[in-house]
Amino acid sequence: MIYAICPLSVVPIRSSASDKSEMVSQLLFGEMVEVIEQRGGWAKVRCLWDNYIGWTDRKQLKILPEEEIQIYQKKYALSLELFHGAMADGYSLPITIGATLPRFDGLKFHLNGSSFNFSGQAIEPTEVTQESGMLLKIARRYLYAPYLWGGRSPLGIDCSGFTQMVYKMIGISIPRDASQQVEKGRLIDFVEQVQPGDLAFFENKKERIVHVGIVMPERKIIHASGQVRIDQIDHFGIFNTEQDKYTHKLRVFKRLLSDESPEANPEDLEVLDNPNQVALF
C-alpha cells in the first residue's frame, strides 16, 4: 500500500484525474490518504479520516511510509486558528483551522524530518469534551466564510464540509456529504426536543437531502448558505430574515452528542446577535 500526507495549506480533491474536473472535497494540511490508483500525474486517494475517495495532483502530496503515517495518527493536534503561519527553516507555511499538526507538543510539530514552530491555539480531539458548548464555539469561528462547493476551509466551505469539520474538531467523525451524514446519530422526533449541537437536515423538491446545519439555542441554526451564517429555524425549515422567506425545507433532526439538560452550560450556549470571532476560547 502507498500512503501520503497533505503538505500544503489546502489541496483540491476532484471527481476525475483532471484540473478541469469538479472539486468534490479538499485535503487540509496534515491530512493523510491511501493512494489506491495512479494515472499520469494524478493519484486516486482514500482519505484515512473519513474514507472519502477522489483524485488529487500527485505533486500536491508527500509520499510517506506506512509506519510514519501510523505514528502521526497516534499523536496529533488540530489547529484552532482561522489562519496561522507554521514556521520552518527559512519559510512560513500558512495553515487553516482544522489543519492536522503531526506529533504536536504544544510548541512544535514534526513532518517528514522537518520541525515547524506553531504559536497558535490547537486541540487534541481525544482530549476534548464532546459537548455542545465547545462545538458551537468552534462553529462560530467559521462565521462569514464564503460558500464553496467541495470546500472545507474558512476560505470556502460547503454545508456538509462545515458540519464535518466542526464535529471533527471535537473528535467525532462523520461522513463528507449531507446525504451520508443523515444516516448517523439518533433521530429526534420533535423540534421541541432538539438541543444545541444537533444536526438539522433539509430536502429538495425530490425529497433528497441537500443541506445540513448545526442547531443553536433559541431556535437558531448555523449553516453554510452563501456564507456561514446564523438563521432562524422551526418545524418548517430555515427562515432567512434578510430575504423574509423560508430558504430550506426541514426533513429531520439527528443527535450525535449526549443528551443535555436545558440548564447545562448556559454561558457556553449563549447566542450573540453580532457574534465576535475574537477571544472565543
Backbone φ/ψ region at 47: left (φ over 0), alpha (ψ -120 to 50), beta: beta
Asked if 157 and 28 count as a contact pair (C-beta separation under 8 A), the reply is no
- The residue extents of the domains of the chain are 2-123, 132-255
Sign of CA dihedral 217, 220, 221, 222: negative
- Look at residue 126 in the predicted model and tell me its pLDDT: 83
- Look at residue 191 in the predicted model and tell me its pLDDT: 86
Backbone φ/ψ region at 176: left (φ over 0), alpha (ψ -120 to 50), beta: alpha
Q: Which residues of 106-131 are buried (b: 16+ CB within 10 A; e: fewer)?
A: eebbbbeeeebebebebbebeebeeb
Radius of gyration of the chain (CA): 19
Give pLDDT tens digits for 77-133: 999 999 999 999 888 999 999 999 999 999 999 987 889 999 999 999 888 889 999
Element (H, E) at 199: strand 199-203
Chain-centre distance of CA 51, in angstroms?
A: 14
DSSP secondary structure of 155-198: TEE-HHHHHHHHHHHTT----SSHHHHTTSSEEE--GGG--TT-
Name which of 194, 214, 201 is nearest 260 in CA terms. 194
Residue type, 91: Y
Residues of the chain falling short of pLDDT 70: 261-281
Specify the CATH number of the domain 2-123: 2.30.30.40
- Look at residue 127 in the predicted model and tell me its pLDDT: 86
- Look at residue 125 in the predicted model and tell me its pLDDT: 87
Give pLDDT tens digits for 121-131: 999 988 888 99
| Share of the chain residues as helix, strand and coil, in percent rounded to the nearest 5 | 15, 40, 45
Nine-digit cell at 131? 459537548
- Look at residue 266 in the predicted model and tell me its pLDDT: 40
| DSSP SS3 for 29 | coil
Tell me the pTM: 0.91
- Look at residue 117 in the predicted model and tell me its pLDDT: 97
Q: Report the C-alpha gap between 129 and 84 in whole angstroms.
A: 24
Specify the CATH number of the domain 132-255: 3.90.1720.10
Total residues belonging to the chain: 281
- Look at residue 261 in the predicted model and tell me its pLDDT: 60
Q: Residue 51's CB: how many other CB atoms inside 10 A?
A: 12
Residue 83, class by beta-carbon neighbours within 10 Å (0-12 exposed, 13-18 middle, 19+ buried)? middle
Q: Report the C-alpha gap between 110 and 76 in whole angstroms.
A: 10
